Amino acid sequence: MTDAASEAASDQTEATAPASTTYFVAAGPGFYDSRIAAVPENAVLVQADTYASIMTAINNGATLSADATGNPVIKDGSGNVIAPASVKADTSYAPVQTLQSKAQDELSAQQTLVMRNYTVFGDATPDAWITYLKALRAIADGSDTTSTALPSAPAN
């Protein structure tokens, strides 16, 4: 087949291929592509640009739900509704982690590190590490309410 014939055949195939239409169904919630699956009767048509914005927001931490009429709704980590037109690819919509939550995560990770480097070998834990772990624990359990940042880990 010549290049011109291949191009013409390709153009004809593209012209006859059905257009993708995306629908949203509140139960689930989920999306349906009309080319791939049968679309339920209660589905709501979603424009391509809106669908793209919803997917970007979800990939950046937003959650998907439905409003009272069955339309898709995206919310940030604080539960605020995000307008699809305002979604930006470089914006995080995930919940903001509190200092206390960060301290809990850090305490768990650092306790493991200390056990692997000292306890498992029967070595005494250096005082700097004990002080550091206690400071993390105080933030994590809420007894330290004045710290605004996590303490720095001791140098190894």
Regarding whether 112 and 68 lie in a shared domain, the answer is no
Q: Is 2 a domain residue?
A: no
Q: Is 12 a domain residue?
A: no
Distance from C-alpha of 156 to C-alpha of 142, rounded to nearest angstrom: 27
Tokens of residue 65, six digits: 């739900």
Regarding whether 114 and 72 lie in a shared domain, the answer is no
Q: Is 123 a domain residue?
A: yes
Regarding whether 112 and 55 lie in a shared domain, the answer is no
Ramachandran area for residue 77 (φ above 0: left; ψ -120 to 50: alpha; else beta)? alpha
Inter-residue contact 64 to 90 (CB < 8 Å)? no
Domain that residue 106 falls in? 99-140
**Cα 102 → chain centroid:** 17
Regarding whether 72 and 112 lie in a shared domain, the answer is no
Regarding whether 105 and 72 lie in a shared domain, the answer is no
Q: Is 92 a domain residue?
A: no
Q: Is 45 a domain residue?
A: yes
Regarding whether 106 and 135 lie in a shared domain, the answer is yes
Regarding whether 59 and 29 lie in a shared domain, the answer is yes
How many domains, the chain?
Answer: 2
pLDDT (tens, 9 = 90+) of the chain, 156 residues, equals 444 444 544 444 444 555 669 999 999 889 999 999 888 989 999 999 999 999 999 999 999 999 999 999 999 999 999 999 999 999 999 988 899 999 999 999 999 999 999 999 999 999 999 999 999 999 999 999 999 999 999 987
Question: According to DSSP H, which parts of 17-78 are helical?
Answer: 48-59
Q: Is 156 a domain residue?
A: no
Q: Is 5 a domain residue?
A: no
Q: Is 154 a domain residue?
A: no
